[in-house]
Amino acid sequence: MDRRRFIARVSLLTAGGAAGVAAGFAAEPVMTKEGPTARTARPAGPAPYVATATFRTQPSAKLIALTIDDGPTREWTPQVLKILRRHDAKATFFRVGERAQAAPDLVVQTADAGHEQGNHTWAHDDLTQHDETFGRDSLERTQELLAKLTGQPPTLCRPPYGRIDSVGLAVCAGLHYGVTLWSHGITGVNAQFDVDEILQQASPGSIVLLHDGGPQPNASLMKQLDRLTGSMTDAGYRFVTVSQLLAASAQEGVGGPSVPESDPA
């Protein structure tokens, strides 16, 4: 083998080896930093420890649940309440604790109107990025505030961003929360398209997500919420709280935890 061919061959082997080493190092921190069961919660003791996550249900009645996240806010929560009142619709508001603390009158007003109050952590915390102690403190702090304002502690949690793992589920189990996710969503940037899709695809038991706080709410979202509630009410649907939806489904044996039919106020 001449010198030129030898150098080329060594160069190829070296490049291939370097690529392999680079690929190995890219994967290695994931394997050594956190194994697949590193965040698996294992509660002690023999007592039941259950958290049920619900994306949708399937009642025979034409029931649908609106869930409204990230508030309250002075700009958008009153507009949402006005729209819901116009269509005799009920909803579940998942409250961020620090925003509820800043606008407690809006929490009371919402509860007095018959809407359910749910827990959305104290500061919109991603539960998958914190340990069990942090998650429990965040949810308990919000729970205490909502209970003080409304006289009824929340029974439902929505994890911010819809992100939750076994550690967060263990916290929810310990607080006796049901976890509410969603089957449809309305975004601020694409509200008309999202509502068009919901009107075509939603069915009894759907759970719809939208926001009255954070970066999502805008005039278009409010307009499309009005269109959604009006159109679906005209089609024979009734907008209920998540707890009412779960109770109706549980009575028919179609899934979902058994919860009281009366709403937390």
Positions marked active-site: 69, 211
Encode burial over 62-94: b for 16+ CB neighbours within 10 A, e otherwise: ebbbbbbbbbbbeebbebbbebbeebebbbbbb
Neighbouring residues of 4: CB distance < 8 A, sequence distance ≥ 6: none
Six-digit token string for 39: 């965040």
- The answer to whether residues 242 and 92 touch, using CB atoms and an 8 Å cutoff, is yes
Torsion angle of C-alpha atoms 172, 178, 181, 184, degrees rounded to 10: -170
